[in-house]
Structure 1
Amino acid sequence: MAFAALDTSQKSTNLIDCMKARGITAIGRYYTRNRSNSKILTADEARRLSQAGIKIWPVYQNRHREPVDFSATKGKLEAEDALDYAKNIINQPTGSAIYFSADFDATQATFNSAIRPHFQAIAAAFAAAGNPYRVGVYGSGAVCKSLLDAGIVQLSWLSQSGGFRGTPQFKASRRWNILQALPVSGFCDFDDDVDPNTINADMGDFGGFVLGQALEPQVIASVEARAATGPMDALPAHPEFPGVPAFPGRPLHRGELGSADVKALQARLNELGFGRLVVDGDFGEATENAVLHFQARNSTPDGKPLVIDGEVGESTWAALFGPGAIFSTQALDPSASMRDLVIDIAASQIGVVEQPRGSNRGPEVDVFIRTTGLNPAHDSFPWCVCFLYWVFEQAAKIKRIENPLPKTAGVIALWNLGRHTEAQVVRKSEANARTVEPGMIFMLDLGGGKGHAGLVIEVRGDHVITIEGNTNPGGSSDGFGVFRRDARPIATGVLLGYLDFCDI
């Protein structure tokens, strides 16, 4: 069996020449809480592997094979320990990754009660440290998918155990960065078996590092924006808009006590900088004052002044959380084609702009970003793909199907992932007025890991008419809203191609 990557709990220092001769280019090694543990990666081993040009990806594991091994408290302590070891012992390069293990077939209940809080605490500890490294997970397909979808981790290493929950499906999705295979014995005179691994080139960078060497350009969520820097705020979820609380259907006002809706309101006002409220669900004077302040400085999604009355009705709720929180599909025909629906929904958002301009933020923009699993409060995210994902999400809900778009915020990532779905692919060399049609997504590679994407709504000769998020009406690089663009060439030098998800 030929392979170019392996992981092992054994020191590799004396076997580096053999590994190099056998074509090994990357190795997975351990960090643990016990610095005297024989399986831990040492500074000398990291140095010698790096001198040989073998990339290292570390995984932090202290058993992590039972639900009792996971909790928010343990996650925080282990994250801080891993950060200290990576920075002060190994001198691990900034921007590379540390994977954390969940090495068993966790149930959904265990994931919700133990694993998710554990990894949320890890993400929060990394964020508190300034995110020097990215967070990865080693585990089952179900755990990898759930943590990626929640935006808690940025990278995934899929366990060899094919019988674990969700593993066959996650393997087929090709969202993994590293895929572990069954152990082999007798490799390069290792005393014990080693695990072969496959690095997913389609996903680009897997977080490995060589000491003293610049990292490769990132290809997943960090293509256009750093991945989420911590767990999303705990807000009551709208069933159609993950991470976005639904309007409660009645105005909120002073005097309400212990309300989950008021908690969501208070958390959002804090996030937007309109107060330092205690998130207790009690609508008192401080909350009312923060609402008045917000209403005085903001407008409705269609640009009209908010009524400054201290109550949170539908208009103020939409200004706070975006129109997605009150988005209505009643005017849309569920019998319409997916193609027509995505065009109509995209058109309904024309005129949405960032608030303030250039911030990659705003009530509506935040909704687009949150739908992909990112938290807009944690970083500045370019959002053209987030807009497209939100559009297709709404259309999919109307059609009662899964969103056909892969869940990502990156252009290059969407291009790479989309080609492994059932989407129709039109490459640059094939793009013309006969092959491109409305409902397709155009994708541009702007260099340096950056890109841009938008929705085709009409084809006119050698040009396409589009609706795009994070763009502007004039065509400059200062993208700040959702606009219709009337003169994009069908094929340009920076075009990757077109993807059609409407007939999946």
Structure 2
Amino acid sequence: MSSGDTSRDATGCDCITEITPQRGQLLKSNGYRIVGRYLDEHLAPGDDGYLGKALKPGEPQTILNAGLRFFPIFQYNGTQLGNFTYDKGYDQGKKAHAKAVEHGIGAGTCIYFGVDYDATDEEITSHVVPYFNGVRAGLAELGSRYTFGVYGSRNVCIRVSKDAGARWSFVSGMSWGFSGNLGFPLPENWSFNQIHEYQFQPGWGLDHNIWRDGGDPGVSAVGQG
């Protein structure tokens, strides 16, 4: 598997770091046009491993004011197989809906739910697809205001899109050692391909994403509720 020249220009990125006005302007001046940010974090301040990665109040508008768009990501401990059950997907789908509404994100927006480990094909069948069926049910119970996408290896994205109906795929392309990336094509519905992780500035790590023409347009305006 190859991601090509991982230093090539890309207009998409994602990070765990709050986008302040200054950071937004830096992203824009470096050619970025859209940034992925997390809707929530499963750990509380003070817990071991807490990253403070969730969107802050007012941050979506700050991003838009910088001339950028953003796309929402939701991941609660998505690095372990045990996170992926129907019930957890159902619960997390509803949590993601509530957080998106809290930030004034409009109807029709795609929220990407993360599978941040090398799930085997058997695990995708037994755990990951049921989790996303739960996500879909949780969102549907609240009126299907939002669609859902999948972050993961090529095979995860292909399978979840086919078997659970994910709208868009956000491919963890820089995880070149993942078996789910080896020998698999990009999913037909890929919108973002994460090809490189680097220190954009001291203390500010950034993932460099190819944003596909005609893919997910992201969020370009926020409102109330």
**TM-score bin (small chain):** 0.7 to 0.9
Following TM superposition, by how much is the alpha carbon of 1:68 offset from its aligned partner in structure 2, in angstroms? 0.8
Classify 1:169/1:209 alpha carbon distance in 2 versus 1 (closer, same or farther; 3 Å).
Answer: farther
Is 2:15–2:36's contact at 8 Å kept on the other side of the alignment? Answer: yes
Aligned match of 1:5: 12
Classify 1:90/1:170 alpha carbon distance in 2 versus 1 (closer, same or farther; 3 Å).
Answer: farther
- Structure 2: distance between partners of 1:173 and 1:122: 20
- Structure 1: distance between partners of 2:177 and 2:149: 21
Classify 1:172/1:60 alpha carbon distance in 2 versus 1 (closer, same or farther; 3 Å).
Answer: closer
Is 2:92–2:138's contact at 8 Å kept on the other side of the alignment? Answer: no
- Structure 1: distance between partners of 2:57 and 2:28: 19
Is 1:198 the equivalent of 2:210? Answer: yes
- Structure 2: distance between partners of 1:121 and 1:7: 25
- Structure 1: distance between partners of 2:164 and 2:88: 20
- Structure 2: distance between partners of 1:56 and 1:143: 23
Aligned match of 1:41: 55
Cα distance per residue 1:158-208 (max 9 Å; x no partner): 0021222342554445541110012122x2x3513211000111xx23151
Following TM superposition, by how much is the alpha carbon of 1:43 offset from its aligned partner in structure 2, in angstroms? 2.9
Is 2:154–2:186's contact at 8 Å kept on the other side of the alignment? Answer: no
Aligned match of 1:123: 136
Secondary structure, in 3 states, of the residue corresponding to 2:165?
coil
Cα distance per residue 1:305-340 (max 9 Å; x no partner): xxxxxxxxxxxxxxxxxxxxxxxxxxxxxxxxxxxx
Residue 100 of structure 2, aligned match among 86, 90, 97: 86
Secondary structure, in 3 states, of the residue corresponding to 2:72?
strand
Q: Which segments of structure 1 move beyond 3 Å, counting only runs of 4 or more?
A: 33-37, 168-175
Aligned match of 2:167: 154
Root-mean-square deviation (Å): 2.0
Query: In structure 2, what residue type is equivalent to 1:24?
Result: Y
Is 1:133 the equivalent of 2:161? Answer: no
Cα distance per residue 1:378-432 (max 9 Å; x no partner): xxxxxxxxxxxxxxxxxxxxxxxxxxxxxxxxxxxxxxxxxxxxxxxxxxxxxxx
Secondary structure, in 3 states, of the residue corresponding to 2:99?
helix
Residue 35 of structure 2, aligned match among 7, 27, 39: 27
- Structure 1: distance between partners of 2:187 and 2:106: 30
Is 1:158–1:171's contact at 8 Å kept on the other side of the alignment? Answer: no
Aligned match of 2:115: 102
- Structure 1: distance between partners of 2:212 and 2:109: 16
Is 1:29–1:59's contact at 8 Å kept on the other side of the alignment? Answer: yes
Q: Which has the larger radius of gyration?
A: 1
Is 1:134–1:207's contact at 8 Å kept on the other side of the alignment? Answer: no
Is 1:97–1:207's contact at 8 Å kept on the other side of the alignment? Answer: no
Is 2:155–2:184's contact at 8 Å kept on the other side of the alignment? Answer: yes
Classify 1:12/1:190 alpha carbon distance in 2 versus 1 (closer, same or farther; 3 Å).
Answer: farther
Aligned match of 2:4: none
Classify 1:157/1:81 alpha carbon distance in 2 versus 1 (closer, same or farther; 3 Å).
Answer: same
Structure-2-length-normalised TM-score: 0.85
Residue 15 of structure 1, aligned match among 23, 32, 38: 23
- Structure 2: distance between partners of 1:184 and 1:15: 15
- Structure 2: distance between partners of 1:118 and 1:49: 30
Classify 1:112/1:173 alpha carbon distance in 2 versus 1 (closer, same or farther; 3 Å).
Answer: closer
Classify 1:97/1:207 alpha carbon distance in 2 versus 1 (closer, same or farther; 3 Å).
Answer: farther
Query: In structure 2, what residue type is equivalent to 1:73?
Result: D
Is 1:123–1:135's contact at 8 Å kept on the other side of the alignment? Answer: yes
- For structure 2, which runs of at least 5 residues remain unmatched after alignment? 1-6, 46-50
- Matched residue pairs, number? 208
How do residues 283-322 of structure 1 correspond to structure 2 at under 5 angstroms? Answer: none
- Structure 1: distance between partners of 2:148 and 2:211: 17
Query: In structure 1, what residue type is equivalent to 2:158?
Result: K
Is 1:5–1:26's contact at 8 Å kept on the other side of the alignment? Answer: yes
Is 1:56–1:209's contact at 8 Å kept on the other side of the alignment? Answer: yes
> Identity over aligned residues, as a percent?
26
- Structure 2: distance between partners of 1:80 and 1:190: 35
Structure-1-length-normalised TM-score: 0.39
